[in-house]
């Protein structure tokens, strides 16, 4: 039995990190005797050509919401070739009926066991879900040898302004996922682990996986992509101690909530190579943090930045504007927070009601859904649904542009004009795309100027 796992999509802004989800599915299938290939359209592979060569019995496609139309296009191609087609991932999990119109089968939630059952039991149609895997050490590390690692380790050079801010220019990078789940329930978030307890890989497994990646791909930096690396401090402490003991010599970053850190864990993490923590700050307005059910305070946001700066870890983070009932005054508080906090790197996005989230339900209940919308617009800046009618979207974009410029001005380090120009020379067609968007929405000018400046000034390693 041969299975092809496909990462669809052509918008390379999404190609920051390797699709570890397909890596996990592949390693689980391989361990159970299935022949597997991963085809990564986002990394530039030609799906039709690879399918012709591999001739799989089954194709499995992953998708987040903005990628869904690409996933459906690829599904159509697979079915035309007579291949049994299954879709999984966040979008198919929350919109299974929609996805089922394009494929033979949909997997809801965690995919390893479901996909193996489909193959072993020759299931050929319907919506399938299986209980979650309790011991995630039983899933082998992602089959990175099947991923386009050469493409992804160069992520920092390809996309210098991504959130991999701590990665020195030109350094090789890779990602790991060492836990599944999140015990919190912020209203803008949906992930496939909903309803399952948070599960962790053992510290020993984490160390051996990272050591293996270093050896196989020569990476100097690692990002832990899980929702919250710092939520289980006991485990993280052991991981840090083992990193130091084993002289792992890797610089790393990860995500955390602002209330999950303290000076002790930060000092140990720094010693073990931690150089960046990405926080979901979300807002400088307590009213908005409460609306988002974030269960954090503005004071905690401020303290997290101070603590990281004291220890020498870059506090990076994301902010949301345009949340339900947000007013211009709330947005101003967020801008003031960014101005006063001396944070160097941050991402700001417009509240986007992804299907499956409480925000989505809120938008439906309050009749805020437009008559038509398309999934690719669900990308944080183009959101087709305005959740805060008190602030026009153009005003939000104007304010985001202003903050981006402020952040760009703060970047320390050397000027990297050459790499920015190289980007334009490599893809001249981008100039036309940008011009078209600007004509449609002049407020984007400020935004782009800010992003361009962020790209031009990159932090000294």
66 binds ligand B12 (CB under 6 A): yes
* Closest-CA residue to 89 (of 115, 62, 112): 62
Q: Does 455 bind ligand B12 (CB under 6 A)?
A: no
Q: For residue 110, state whether it binds ligand B12 (rule: CB under 6 A).
A: yes
CB of 63 vs ligand B12, minimal distance in Å: 7
Q: Which of residues 178-217 bind ligand B12 (CB under 6 A)?
A: 189-192
Closer to ligand B12 by Cβ: residue 99 or 311: 99
Stretch 356-385: interaction string toward ligand B12, x if CB under 6 A = -----------------------xx-----
The distance of closest approach from Cβ of residue 407 to ligand B12 in the complex, given in angstroms and rounded to an integer, is 18
Of the candidates 108, 191, 180, which has an alpha carbon nearest to the alpha carbon of residue 137? 180
Indicate which single residue of 21, 296, 411, 447 sits in contact with ligand B12 (rule: CB under 6 A).
21
Smallest separation (angstroms) from ligand B12 to the CB of 382: 9
Segment interacting with ligand B12 (CB under 6 A) among 14-22, 165-173, 197-205, 384-392: 14-22
Q: Is 353 an interacting residue with respect to ligand B12 (CB under 6 A)? A: no
Q: Are 157 and 169 in contact (CB under 8 A)?
A: yes
Q: Which is nearer to ligand B12, 24 or 362 (CB)?
A: 24
Residue whose CB is less far from ligand B12, 93 or 301: 93
| Among residues 43, 47, 51, 61, the one that binds ligand B12 under rule CB under 6 A | 61
* Member of 4, 24, 283, 396 binding ligand B12 (CB under 6 A): 24
The stretch near ligand B12 (CB under 6 A) out of 10-18, 265-273, 311-319, 320-328 is: 10-18
Specify which residues 429 forms β-bridges with: none
Stretch that binds ligand B12, among 46-54, 63-71, 214-222, 298-306 (CB under 6 A): 63-71
Could you list the residues that contact ligand B12 (CB under 6 A)? Answer: 9, 14, 16-17, 19-21, 24-25, 60-62, 64-67, 86-91, 93, 107, 110-112, 114-115, 177, 189-192, 225, 227, 354, 379-380
């Amino acid at each position: 039995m041969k299975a092809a796992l496909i990462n669809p999509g052509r918008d390379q802004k999404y190609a920051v990190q390797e699709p570890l989800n397909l890596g996990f599915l592949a390693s689980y299938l391989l361990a159970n005797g299935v022949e597997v290939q991963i085809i990564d359209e986002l990394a530039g592979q030609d799906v039709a050509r690879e399918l012709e060569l591999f001739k799989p019995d089954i194709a499995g496609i992953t998708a987040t919401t903005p990628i869904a139309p690409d996933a459906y296009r690829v599904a159509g191609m697979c079915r035309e070739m007579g291949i049994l087609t299954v879709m999984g991932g966040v979008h198919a999990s929350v919109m299974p009926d929609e996805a089922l119109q394009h494929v033979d089968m949909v997997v809801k939630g965690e995919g390893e066991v479901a996909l193996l059952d489909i193959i072993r039991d020759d299931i050929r149609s319907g919506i399938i879900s299986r209980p979650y895997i309790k011991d995630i050490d039983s899933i082998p590390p992602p089959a990175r040898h099947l991923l386009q690692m050469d493409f992804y380790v160069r992520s920092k050079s390809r996309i210098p302004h991504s959130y991999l801010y701590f990665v020195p220019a030109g350094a090789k990078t890779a990602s790991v996922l060492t836990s599944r789940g999140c015990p919190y329930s912020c209203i803008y978030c949906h992930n496939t682990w909903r309803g399952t307890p948070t599960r962790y890989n053992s510290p020993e497994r984490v160390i051996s996986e990272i050591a293996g990646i270093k050896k196989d791909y020569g990476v100097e930096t690692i990002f832990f992509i899980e929702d919250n690396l710092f939520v289980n401090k006991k485990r993280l402490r052991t991981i840090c101690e083992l990193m130091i003991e084993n002289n792992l010599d890797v610089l790393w970053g990860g995500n955390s909530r602002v209330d999950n850190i303290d000076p002790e864990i930060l000092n140990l993490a720094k010693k073990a190579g931690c150089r960046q923590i990405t926080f979901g700050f979300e807002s400088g307005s307590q009213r908005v943090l409460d609306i988002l059910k974030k269960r954090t305070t503005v004071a905690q946001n401020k303290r997290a930045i101070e603590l990281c700066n004291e220890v020498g870890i870059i506090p990076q983070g994301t902010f949301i504007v345009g949340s339900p009932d947000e007013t211009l005054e709330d947005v101003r508080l967020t801008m003031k927070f960014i101005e006063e906090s001396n944070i160097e790197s941050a991402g700001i996005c417009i509240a986007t009601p992804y299907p499956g989230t409480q925000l989505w339900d809120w938008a439906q209940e309050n009749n805020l859904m437009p008559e038509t919308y398309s999934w690719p617009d669900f990308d944080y800046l183009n959101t087709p649904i305005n959740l805060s009618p008190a602030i026009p979207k153009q005003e939000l974009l104007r304010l985001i542009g202003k903050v981006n410029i402020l952040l760009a001005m703060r970047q320390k380090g050397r000027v990297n004009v050459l790499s920015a120009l190289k980007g334009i020379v490599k893809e001249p067609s981008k100039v036309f795309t940008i011009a078209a968007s600007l004509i449609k929405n002049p407020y984007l000018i400020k935004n782009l100027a800010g992003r361009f400046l962020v790209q031009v000034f990159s932090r000294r390693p």
